[in-house]
């Protein structure tokens, strides 16, 4: 944990020392992706919730921020508002979707962002003549006041914060309960664990952080429209980061997100088929190392030997 905080300090001073804008862009994208991957790891890896509705939280966070800017809401407060709206939405949908299990739960959550996409395609609030609405989307008012050097720090806070949140959860009673639920819902319930309540906590916390990440992302974009905000590519970003790095590990999403960020910039030249290429790479890695990179490392003899040396008294 000390090493993570040390890296965070180094990254925080980069804009001050005049680091190239390209570096800041890479780190900005990485931290946003990291927050999303960490929350999906919390949902799927530690809570057993195979959720596919991350785009819903991203989109709601972004729309809340941008629409709030037209009502005079300061952008920093808009970030918090976006996170709260995403969390409240997660609370609302938890009651019907938590009645589903396994693949049915996954399908139920997959429908949610698609439904929101069509709602926002039709939605045209009367705020001002400058808003186009519907599929044309909305522009962020006051975006010029927040260049990349400012938005970078917001992204760094949510990225590092997502690591700390998972770290604290895993060392709390909530983390112990989630571990039992992940292994077997029925056994956990028979042991006196409130399965619904703990899953709800995990779901809402993940939605809050993901909504915040979405709001920060759309400060930099300065414009939002439904097809990108509620796009399934956000789910793929979360899965690639968590699965490639290794589910149920704290370092895994960091490694996986480095790879997914690199893929974004490397495959950007291929345009529309970049999403297909990312999916193909994910399938190949899952076939070769289904436990993820950190899972593979943990299974090697060298790692076990070093772990024994480190823990030997």
Tell me: the pLDDT tens digits for 68-96? 998 899 999 999 999 999 999 999 999 99
- Read off the pLDDT band of 311 (50, 70, 90): low
Residue 197: how many CA atoms within 13 Å on its side-chain side?
A: 8
Quick: pLDDT tens for 184-229: 787 888 888 888 999 999 999 999 999 999 999 999 999 999 999 9
Long-range contacts of 73-81 (CB under 8 A, 24+ apart): 75/140, 75/142, 75/145, 75/146, 75/219, 76/154, 78/215, 79/154, 79/212, 79/215, 79/216, 79/219, 80/212, 81/215
Mean pLDDT across the chain, nearest whole number? 87
b/e sequence 20-58, b meaning 16+ C-beta within 10 Å: eeeebebbbbbbbbbbbbbbbbbbbbbbbbbbbbbbbbb
Quick: pLDDT tens for 19-45: 899 999 999 999 999 999 999 999 999
**Average pLDDT score over residue span 115-122:** 91
pLDDT score of 117: 94
- Read off the pLDDT band of 126 (50, 70, 90): low
pLDDT score of 225: 92
Q: Is residue 313 predicted with pLDDT exceeding 50?
A: no
Decide which of 1 and 113 is more confident: 113
**Average pLDDT score over residue span 164-177:** 92
Q: Is residue 272 predicted with pLDDT exceeding 50?
A: yes
- Read off the pLDDT band of 312 (50, 70, 90): low
pLDDT score of 140: 92
The alpha helices in the chain, defined as continuous H runs, are: 2-12, 21-40, 54-70, 75-97, 102-122, 148-170, 173-183, 185-190, 195-221, 226-229, 233-239, 245, 252-267, 274-288, 292-298, 301-311
């Amino acid at each position: 944990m000390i090493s993570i905080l040390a890296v965070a300090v180094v990254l925080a001073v980069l804009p001050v020392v005049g680091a190239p804008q390209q570096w800041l862009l890479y780190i900005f994208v990485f931290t946003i992706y990291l927050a999303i991957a960490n929350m999906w790891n919390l949902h799927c890896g530690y809570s057993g919730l195979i959720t596919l509705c991350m785009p819903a939280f991203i989109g709601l966070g972004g729309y809340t921020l941008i629409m709030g800017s037209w009502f005079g809401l300061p952008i920093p407060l808009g970030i918090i508002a976006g996170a709260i709206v995403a969390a409240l939405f997660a609370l609302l949908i938890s009651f019907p979707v938590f009645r589903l299990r396994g693949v049915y739960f996954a399908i139920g959550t997959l429908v949610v962002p698609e439904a929101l996409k069509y709602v926002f395609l039709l939605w045209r609030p009367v705020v001002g003549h400058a808003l186009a609405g519907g599929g044309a989307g909305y522009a962020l008012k006051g975006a010029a006041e927040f260049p990349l050097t400012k938005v970078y720090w917001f992204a760094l806070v949510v990225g590092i914060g997502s690591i700390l949140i998972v770290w604290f959860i895993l060392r709390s009673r909530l983390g112990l309960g989630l571990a039992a639920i992940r292994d077997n819902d029925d056994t956990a319930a028979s042991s006196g664990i409130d399965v619904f309540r703990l899953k709800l906590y995990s779901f809402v916390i993940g939605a809050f952080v993901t909504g915040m990440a979405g709001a920060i992302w759309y400060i930099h974009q300065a414009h939002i429209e439904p097809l990108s905000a509620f796009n399934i590519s956000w789910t793929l970003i979360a899965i690639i980061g968590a699965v490639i790095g290794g589910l149920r590990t704290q370092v895994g999403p960091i490694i996986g997100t480095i790879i997914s960020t690199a893929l974004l910039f490397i495959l950007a030249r291929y345009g529309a088929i970049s999403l297909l290429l990312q999916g193909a790479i994910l399938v190949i890695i899952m076939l070769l190392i289904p436990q993820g990179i950190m899972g593979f490392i943990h299974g090697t003899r060298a790692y076990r030997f070093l772990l024994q040396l480190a823990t030997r008294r």
